[in-house]
Structure 1
Amino acid sequence: MVPTISDFENDSTAGSLPTHTIYDLLSHRRRRAMLRRLDEHESPVSLSDLSRWVALGEADSDGDGVRSERLRNVRISLYHVHVPKLSNAGVVAFDRAERTVELLDDGRALLHRLEALDPSSEPNEHGPST
């Protein structure tokens, strides 16, 4: 059975996020990749490591390597767009001084939603281990 929006409106695993926010947060592949990577770690992950991991995943899917320009672009977009968006929604904690990101409980709930929406999606296995 294919999930519908109404399936998620009454789902108690969603945390406190409204359905439209969930879809918005999951709409970009960089945010999905970040959430999956953060879920693999108990402690905060440096923005540098997270950027490198996301860039490697994109390079694999695009069929080319990670160039310094791609890594720079990913780091900038994570810092200025994607991490703040997830932080403002309360799914990650972002320590600007330390430049670290940590997954919160609502972030884990968001990942459960992602798995329900796309059970065939696999986490990127090509990123660097941290």
Structure 2
Amino acid sequence: MSTKEQNTLTQDTVYDLLSNGRRRFVISRLRRAEGPVSVNDLSEAVAAWENDVPESELTDKQIKRVYVSLYQIHIPKLDEAGLVDYDKDSGLVELTPAVSELDSYLPEQESDEDRPRRWLLLYTAIAFVSLSLYGGVLLFPDTFGWISVTALNIALFSVIVITTATHYLLEQWR
């Protein structure tokens, strides 16, 4: 009996389905869509996400690499599990109500636009705190006499390096 014939997904099936970033992205993209989405459009969206470039800057090779894996592996797997309806003739994919079974396994959905905005806020906060500390050390030497400019340079440089490395690694992991 296929997973599609069952009413509920097993935990192992859910973990297997969600173990791949492309499948998670496809589910997220389809949740935001107002109707069926073509495999071509999904391929471009996934390729842009993976390569961290706008869809207009993608190469045919980048899109084709993603298209093949979506067409041959990921979308059929989601279809078999009953999470999407996939019409091979039209190339359209849409979510089924069964996708709600994944809600307890997925973190709250964030849009593509929210992630960069959060990092921008963090970098802005670091810049503001840095400028405030430098201003304090230079304008109020009696109050901030306990910290040297060299120590401040090292501390702030370390914060920036750690934050940037964390940002990079998290983006690569996603």
Q: TM-score, normalised by structure 2?
A: 0.55
User: Are residues 1:73 and 2:98 paired?
Assistant: no
Letter in 1 for 2:91: R
Taking only aligned residues, the RMSD between alpha carbons, in angstroms, comes to 2.1
After TM superposition, give the deviation of residue 124 of structure 1 in Å.
3.0
Aligned to 2:48: 56
Q: TM-score, normalised by structure 1?
A: 0.73
Could you tell me which runs of 5 or more consecutive residues in structure 2 were left unpaired when the two chains were aligned.
1-6, 115-174
Which residue of the other structure, out of 112, 123, 127, is the alignment partner of 1:124? 112
SS in structure 1 at match of 2:41: helix
Q: How many residues align?
A: 105
Percent of aligned pairs with the same residue?
40
* Runs of 4+ with >4 A deviation: none
Q: Whose RCO is larger (CA < 8 A, sep 6+)?
A: 1
Which residue of the other structure, out of 13, 20, 23, is the alignment partner of 1:28? 20
Question: Does structure 2 conserve the Cα–Cα contact (< 8 Å) formed by 1:38 and 1:102?
Answer: yes
Which structure has more helix as a fraction of its residues? 2
Distance 1:112-1:46 versus aligned 2 partners, 3 A rule: farther
**For residues 44 and 125 of structure 1, what CA distance do their matches in structure 2 show?**
22
After TM superposition, give the deviation of residue 46 of structure 1 in Å.
0.8
Question: Does structure 2 conserve the Cα–Cα contact (< 8 Å) formed by 1:39 and 1:108?
Answer: no
Aligned to 1:5: none
